Amino acid sequence: GKSSLASALALAHGHGYLTDDYALLDGRSLHVYGRPWRLELRAGALREFWPDGPPRGRTVGDKSVLDAREHVAVAASGAVDLVFFVQRGARTALTPLSPEATRGHLGEPVSMFRHCPDVTHGYEAAFHALALSARGYTLAVDHDLGIAHAATVVADAIAAGR
């Protein structure tokens, strides 16, 4: 649901789209850098966002891949104010996290950089600073209610400054 959620926030609520995947964190500025060039969505999300038929794109596995620049406002980097950890749930609910819990959810660096100490050096301090400066939440998503409902819950939280 993370791809659909990121897309719904951009398509239906006007937020910028940075990435729905990995992002690089600058440990000094706490800005993130993503890859905003594509939206990867499953059939259900496509029907929800484009009920009259989805735009043309490529198919990769069970997802359609669209050029994000053709559909949403994209950004290459941004400051981190909120962090959402998405999980399946019996009901859609947004739960605030303490900085300690946010840090725990951040875990360790992933991808090819995990075993590159020159790249990941200092991540602990950066993740700690991010957990202190950004508000963290778990977002339980009831998929029966649809991703649009979850996106509205998140957009309302953003608008309320929670």
Among residues 13, 157, 14, 142, which one has the least CA distance to residue 83?
157
pLDDT digits (tens, 9 = 90+) for 5-29: 888 888 888 888 888 777 888 888 9
pLDDT digits (tens, 9 = 90+) for 40-84: 888 888 888 888 888 888 888 888 999 988 888 888 888 888 899
* Contact call for residues 5 and 141 (beta carbons, < 8 A): yes
pLDDT digits (tens, 9 = 90+) for 30-51: 898 888 778 888 888 888 888 8
Q: Stretch 82-110: mean pLDDT, rounded?
A: 90
